[in-house]
Amino acid sequence: MNDAEKLIGNWFLVDYLFVTDSGEATYPWGPHFSGHIHYHPDGQMAVQIMKSDRSHFVGPDVLQGLPEETKAAFDGYIAYWGRYAVDQEQHCVSHFLEGCLFPNWIGTEFKRFYRFDEGLLVLETAPLLFNGKTCVATLKWRR
């Protein structure tokens, strides 16, 4: 089985660590988060990650949240989907974003360096800007 075949399926987030360029290790949303990534055999993928302890809105209307409620909900959630391609020699999977909660990322390519480690899929980002700091994220996923 090649690496592209090993990726296929549903994976659930078990660890989400960021390390800044100064070496500071942090969990950006604390210890309570959840996430799901799916790689489909047809070359499509989707991912959602959220802070688990997000507050509920006061009202029931999804489009009528208070500004602070909407900001907190947005700040505690990442989601995108699109195509993906695996470069087995580089141990890299590229995500080509077709839709995203953060509109600036639509149309971009995210390279994730991967490895399989004791039943886990480990994805590591290239340096990215997150909460005002340049960092590398390491995400560990289990089936």
Lowest mean pLDDT among 4-8, 22-26, 73-77, 106-110: 22-26
- Give the pLDDT confidence score for residue 143 in this predicted structure: 96
Lowest mean pLDDT among 21-30, 47-56, 88-97: 21-30
Check pLDDT > 90 for residue 8: yes
What stretch of H or E contains 4? Answer: helix 3-7
Mean pLDDT of 50-78: 92
Whole-structure pTM value: 0.91
CA–CA distance, 21 with 69 (Å, rounded to integer): 31
- Give the pLDDT confidence score for residue 71 in this predicted structure: 92
Check pLDDT > 90 for residue 26: no
CB 36 within 8 A of CB 13: yes
